[in-house]
Amino acid sequence: MTGSIPDPTTEAAGSPRGLAAVPPTMRPAAAADWQAIWPIWHRIVAEGGTYSYPRDTDERTAAGLWMLPSPAQVFVAELPDEAGRQRIVGSALLKPVQPGAGAHIANASFMIDPDQAGAGLGRALARHVLAEARAAGYRAMQFNAVVETNHAAVRLWTSLGFAILTTVPEAFRHPEHGLVGLHVMHRRL
């Protein structure tokens, strides 16, 4: 799955909110980071356009879905606030797509603060997670549920070398577009 990802065409055009001035800090998430991840996670899921989680998922359930134990890895992207303190503006979950015999293929999910859309954070976090997946020994990354109407995410993933292997028709109930397809996307690492 992929989350609310900024539009890569805006990034390429040099958005005034682009990352050239202040690149994000990427680091592994700690348990205490959930307090800052939750509002982002909740807002994206409640909007209902990019994830199949129930839109009314409670915080405890959400933490159990996102803050998974090893071999999963959770990362955060941080930017300085007005006072210069680092604040979490995005998170990613990296895990095997399947257990056992399928554990050499990675899967990842991304949540970027919607207020930061167009700032290049999705691309920066994606590159970081791809590098971490490669370093962890994964051979490829597979997304099982990229909502076809999430055009920004589809553009980002294809620009980073992902191919759409298939689209499962009418597999996602979008709050605005009705039944839409889910792309299965893949990239070798």
pLDDT of 48 strictly over 80: yes
Dihedrals phi, psi of 52, to nearest 5 degrees:
-90, 0
Which domains does the chain carry?
8-137 (3.40.630.30)
DSSP 8-state code for residue 187: E
Q: What is the pTM of this model?
A: 0.88
Q: Both tokens of residue 75?
A: 């990362």
What does the DSSP assignment read for the chain?
-------HHHHHTT-TT-TTSSPPEEEE--GGGHHHHHHHHHHHHHH-SS--S-TT--HHHHHHHHSPPTT-EEEEEEEE-TTS-EEEEEEEEEEESSSGGGTTEEEEEEEE-GGGTTSSHHHHHHHHHHHHHHHTT--EEEEEEEETT-HHHHHHHHHTT-EEEEEEEEEEEETTTEEEEEEEEEEE-
Instruction: Assign 117 a pLDDT band (cuts: 50, 70, 90).
Output: confident
Q: Is 159 left (phi over 0), alpha (psi -120 to 50) or beta?
A: alpha
CB-based contact 53:65 (threshold 8 Å): yes
| Cα separation, 156 vs 130, whole angstroms | 13
pLDDT at position 11? 39
Instruction: Assign 119 a pLDDT band (cuts: 50, 70, 90).
Output: confident
- Write out pLDDT tens, residues 169-181: 999 999 999 999 9
